A = this chain, B = another copy of it.
């Protein structure tokens, strides 16, 4: 259609073909994201079983069958929503480097702040994950267990390292238990801070929460632990 040999029909055709393909892919990805966002909202609001495909497609503004163009099934869509969230969380957690310039405590606080940021950003989804997600499907449960296990492993690793350096007092066989305590404290802090009905105390800065959590974890609540009078 043009006489310019530099953009001969062959090349031009190919380019236009690529352009079309690219545009099509972008459109497809956009729709997909549109559906994923809608699904995220609906799942977050009603839980897995309470969420209906109907509600998701309505929220996304597409027709019923369209949903199935992008997801094989309800469960697959939920798994994807979940995976995205888990991925963001994983990415937010940087391994603590003892030899780095920033002191470990600051690195930990940074991690916590990033995690809290994500949790607050997706508060609805967080609520569902913390409170409703399990028991739906073995696959989903495994994914959630994996997430927990991953975080627990991180904490266990930190505690073990601390023990080796003589910093941590926890008996080796109690490390798993204490890791649970730490994880639970984090979860509940997130629940109470982002998810509960507002007005329960002043809203707190993520940095403050992270710092307090770390403080609590490391030192407990006593002023002078030697007074503890614990057995042994």
Q: A78 CB to closest chain B CB, in angstroms?
A: 14
CB-CB contacts below 8 Å: A156-174 with B: 159, 162, 166-170, 173-174
A191 to B181, CA, bound (A): 10
Please state if A177 and B228 are interface contacts (CB–CB under 8 Å): no
A134 interface contact, C-beta 8 A = yes
Contact with B along A207-232 (1 / 0, CB 8 A): 00101110111111111110111110
A99 interface contact, C-beta 8 A = no
Contact with B along A176-206 (1 / 0, CB 8 A): 1110111111111101110011001110100
A-B contact pairs, 22 of them (CB 8 A): A47-B49, A47-B132, A50-B135, A127-B135, A132-B132, A132-B135, A162-B222, A169-B219, A169-B223, A176-B192, A177-B193, A177-B213, A178-B221, A181-B185, A182-B185, A183-B188, A184-B184, A184-B188, A184-B189, A215-B230, A217-B220, A219-B228
